[in-house]
Chain A
Amino acid sequence: MVEIAHRTSPLEGRGFEGDGISLSVAKPASRLSLRAPEGSLPALSEALGLELPQRPKSTSTKGNRAALWLGPDEWLVIDEDGADLMAICGKIPDLHSAVDTSHRNVAIEVSGARSADVLSAGCPQDLSLARFPVGASSRTVFGKVEIILWRRDEQTFHVECWRSFSAYGFDLLEAAAREAE
Chain B
Amino acid sequence: MTQAFRIPSAGRLDTGRTLDFTFDGKSFTGLEGDTLASALLANGVHLTGRSFKYHRPRGILSAGAEEPNALVGIHRDEARRTPNVRTTIQELYAGLTAVSQNRWPSLSFDVGAISNLGAPFFSAGFYYKTFMWPRAAWERLYEPVIRRTAGLGVAPDKPDPDHYSNRFAHCDVLVIGGGAAGLAAALAAAEKGASVIIADEQAALGGSLRFESGAEIDGRPGWEWAQETKTALRARDNVRVLTRTTGFGYYAHNMLGLVERLTDHLAEPSPEAPRERLWQVRAKRVVLATGAIERHMVFPDNDRPGVMLASAARTYLNHYGVAVGRKVSVYTAEDSAYAAAIDLKKSGTDVLAIVDLRTDPEGALVEQARSLGIDVFAGHAVTGTEGRLRVRRVSISPVSGGPRRELEIDTLLTSSGWTPAVHLFSQSRGKLAFDEENQRFLPGEYVQDAVSVGACNGTSDLAETVAESLRAGETAAKETGAKKRKTVKFEAQASEDWSSGMAGAAPGAKSGSKAMAFVDFQHDVTAKDIRQAVREGMRSIEHVKRFTTTGMATDQGKTSNIHGLAIASEMLGKPIPQVGLTTFRSPYTPVTFGALVGHGRGKLFEPTRRTPIHSWAEAHGAAFEPVGQWERAWYFPQNGEDMHAAVARECHTTRQAAGIFDATTLGKIEVVGPDAARFMELMYTNPWQKLAVGRCRYGVMLREDGFIYDDGVVGRLAEDRFHVTTTTGGAPRVLNHMEDYLQTEFPELKVWLTSTSEQWAVIAVQGPKSRDIIAPFVEDIDISDEAMPHMSVREGRVCGVPARLFRLSFTGERGFEINVPADYGLSVWEAVWAEGQKYGACAYGTETMHVLRAEKGLIIIGQETDGTVTPDDAGLNWAIGKKKTDFVGIRGLQRPDLVAKGRKQLVGLKTTDPKTVLEEGAQVVADPDQPVPMKMIGHVTSSYWSENCGHSIALALIEDGRERMGEKLFVPMPDGVIEVEVTSTVFFDPDGERTNG
Contact = CB atoms under 8 A, between A and B. Distances in A.
Interface of A: 2-10, 28, 33, 35, 73, 95, 97-105, 117, 120-126, 128, 131, 143-145, 162-165, 167-168, 171-172, 175-176, 178-180
Given A3-B800, A5-B799, A8-B825, 19 more contacts: A5-B800, A5-B831, A7-B823, A95-B674, A97-B672, A99-B754, A100-B821, A103-B821, A120-B169, A122-B599, A124-B168, A128-B170, A143-B599, A145-B607, A163-B822, A165-B607, A165-B609, A175-B604, A176-B599
Contacts of B673: 95, 97
Contacts of B827: 5-8
A99 B672 contact: yes
B670 interface: yes
A144 B163 CA distance: 18
A10 B612 contact: yes
A164 B611 contact: yes
B603 interface: yes
Nearest to A123: B168
A17 to B, nearest CB: 14
B752 interface: yes
Contact of A35 (B630, B754, B823): B754
Nearest to A145: B607
Nearest to A98: B672
B282 A97 contact: no
Contact of A101 (B170, B607, B759): B759
B125 interface: no
Interface stretch (B40-48, B153-161, B272-280): B272-280
A33 B799 contact: no
Nearest to B830: A5
Contacts of A165: 607, 609
Nearest to A99: B754
A103 B599 contact: no
A95 B824 CA distance: 31
A124 B757 CA distance: 26
Contacts of A123: 168
A168 B168 contact: no
Nearest to A35: B752
Given A102-B821, A179-B165, A4 B272 contact: no
Nearest to B673: A97
Contact of A2 (B170, B629, B831): B831
A106 to B, nearest CB: 9
28 contacts: A2-B776, A2-B799, A3-B799, A4-B801, A5-B827, A5-B828, A6-B827, A7-B827, A8-B827, A95-B673, A98-B672, A101-B754, A101-B756, A101-B759, A103-B821, A104-B757, A121-B166, A124-B280, A128-B195, A143-B599, A143-B600, A164-B610, A167-B607, A168-B604, A175-B163, A175-B165, A176-B165, A180-B272
A123 B801 CA distance: 36
Contacts of B799: 2-5
B864 interface: no
Nearest to B674: A95
Interface in B738-765: 750-752, 754-760
A99 B610 contact: no
B670 A99 contact: yes
Nearest to B822: A103
A86 B166 CA distance: 40
B857 to A, nearest CB: 31
What 8 pairs across the A-B complex have the smallest Cβ distances?
A4-B800, A168-B607, A164-B609, A97-B752, A7-B823, A97-B672, A35-B752, A126-B170
Given A5-B820, A6-B827, A179 B272 contact: yes
Contacts of A179: 165, 272-274, 277
Interface in B158-190: 163, 165-170
A120 B167 CA distance: 5
A123 B282 CA distance: 13
B386 to A, nearest CB: 52
B755 to A, nearest CB: 8
Contacts of A10: 610, 612
Contacts of B371: none
B795 to A, nearest CB: 11
Interface string B576-614: 000000000000000000000001100110111111100
B777 interface: yes
Contacts of B195: 128
Nearest to B750: A95
Most-contacted residue by chain B among A97, A145, A178 (CB, 10 A) = A97
Contacts of B277: 179
Contact of B756 (A2, A35, A104, A125): A104
A121 B752 contact: no
B280 A5 contact: no
A22 to B, nearest CB: 17
B270 interface: yes
B986 interface: no
A103 B611 CA distance: 12
B494 interface: no
A180 B337 CA distance: 43
Contacts of A102: 759, 821
Interface in B811-853: 820-828, 831
A128 B284 CA distance: 14
Interface in B69-121: none
Specify which of B163, B167, B612, B758 lies most central, judged by the most chain A CB atoms within 10 Å of its CB. B758
Nearest to A31: B759
A33 B820 CA distance: 18
A175 B828 CA distance: 33
Nearest to B280: A124
A136 to B, nearest CB: 14
A162 B758 contact: yes
A120 to B, nearest CB: 5
Nearest to B613: A8
A35 B743 CA distance: 14
Given A172-B599, A172-B604, A121 B165 contact: yes
A52 to B, nearest CB: 15
B600 A144 contact: yes
A59 to B, nearest CB: 19
A123 B607 CA distance: 16
Contacts of A35: 672, 752, 754
A46 to B, nearest CB: 21
Contacts of A98: 672
B823 A8 contact: yes
Contacts of B630: 164
A167 B282 CA distance: 29
A179 B167 CA distance: 12
Contacts of A171: 603-604
B831 A131 contact: no
A172 B760 CA distance: 25
Contacts of B163: 175
A33 B754 CA distance: 7
Interface in B225-283: 270, 272-274, 277, 280, 282
Nearest to B273: A180
A100 B717 CA distance: 14
Contacts of B610: 10, 164, 167
A148 B254 CA distance: 26
A111 B166 CA distance: 19
Contacts of A4: 799-801
